[in-house]
Chains A and B, each alone.
Chain A
């Protein structure tokens, strides 16, 4: 697992967050977790707690373990950013679809059979040369599961949640995206049950690509708004 630490010059060292309550806390990486490696003799506290809870709930007949397996399988293998990529590619090649998508995201996305859990109310926001959109949930981690799958750790992290609204350009810079001053940045804070999907700009030079080839270019990061869609280097 490769960690990439992106820092901006002059940024405060990660490790201290002063809470509104005035209590100084040491903020460990909010995504830190224990790996259940084979060589580890003792499972982590978290692993034990989850095992115990599952065992209790199964014994009480409150949950079906096969249902748990099905839920995990759905989000590991079936529902993911490839869904959103297909929506984006269709919008790029079909102007009528794009109009429907921007007017009523939920129904246009339903045309692909995507929807339901954490995608019941979709809004699609379009990037154009002078407008760049970025999506966040400052209050927790709301995210459009139906088209992007489950959110990455960074999206749910304190740094992203706190800074996306106040310093979106700084956050984008940490992802390697520098926006000119004359581009308007719109940050969408997912405070209600509306879920936001960014329709990225179609990259220049992609005119001869098929819809499937276009979909293969569209990344999760571009659909959250922390990246643009680029052609593979050999083609640009």
Chain B
């Protein structure tokens, strides 16, 4: 939603707690713990939340969206059936699983994280200092190319290296590792002449999002 207007002022809370209610904490933990089954990846989980209807998306609190997305992922990947989700009870006779993430493993799992970089020899198409244009593409599936930058001209600030490509990975169509660049767009290029002359926005973009300018 970058660049959208009339969303109102930023409201902030003094000394905000990490979790406002115990349910926020439980939601947070449930999503991470369920994710340990590796039935989905981070791109698929982001996409699942993008599928929430806009009116609901804006109305819901952050962790409500997490639970909504998690619910759908659990059913989609078969970890839980729709009937079990609706009833709140395991199907009669269904086997009990063993959770992959137990309390003792939490520190190591968090320390390891899930790097998205890939050690593969893929040639970059662009180099630092080069002028590029973000493609004017509008994928119907998951993408991390923000609408405000499509078709805009920018400059390669630097090459971050090779990473998993979310547009394919979110739909389990392969990792398609490729170079990710930090691309600098001047504020005036993005927002017009009313923007301050020296400001800029740096957007991380995959090779497939860019064309030479």
Docked-complex contact A192 and B204, CB < 8 angstroms: yes
Docked-complex contact B79 and A62, CB < 8 angstroms: yes
Provide the residues of chain A in CB contact with B16, threshold 8 Å. 152-153
B112 sits at the interface (CB 8 A) = yes
Count the A-B residue pairs with Cβ separation under 8 angstroms: how many?
333
| Besides A4-B14, A154-B11, 12 new A-B residue pairs in contact (Cβ under 8 A), listed by A number | A2-B13, A4-B11, A54-B26, A60-B96, A71-B110, A116-B113, A138-B2, A162-B7, A164-B2, A189-B2, A189-B201, A192-B116
Docked-complex contact B204 and A190, CB < 8 angstroms: yes
Nearest 5 A-B pairs (CB), nearest first?
Answer: A14-B8, A138-B2, A192-B204, A66-B103, A61-B97
Q: Is the interface of B mostly helix, strand, loop or mixed?
A: mixed
A102 sits at the interface (CB 8 A) = no
B32 sits at the interface (CB 8 A) = yes
Docked-complex contact B103 and A67, CB < 8 angstroms: yes
A204 sits at the interface (CB 8 A) = no
Which of B15, B19, B32, B204 contacts A194, CB < 8 Å? B204
Docked-complex contact B67 and A46, CB < 8 angstroms: yes
B27 smallest CB distance to A (angstroms): 5
B199 sits at the interface (CB 8 A) = yes
B165 smallest CB distance to A (angstroms): 10
Which of A30, A152, A165, A193 contacts B58, CB < 8 Å? A30
Chain A to chain B contacts (Cβ below 8 Å), 12 pairs: A14-B8, A19-B54, A27-B7, A35-B20, A53-B30, A60-B94, A68-B29, A72-B19, A72-B26, A121-B116, A138-B146, A185-B196
Within residues 115 to 139 of chain A, which ones have a CB less than 8 A from any CB in chain B?
115-121, 123, 136, 138-139
Most chain B Cβ neighbours within 10 Å, of A7, A52, A162: A162
Docked-complex contact A166 and B113, CB < 8 angstroms: no
Provide the residues of chain A in CB contact with B163, threshold 8 Å. 121, 192-193
> Which listed segment binds B: A87-95, A167-175, A209-217, A228-236?
A167-175
Docked-complex contact A166 and B10, CB < 8 angstroms: no
Complex formed: what's the CA distance from A19 to B55 in Å?
9
B101 sits at the interface (CB 8 A) = yes
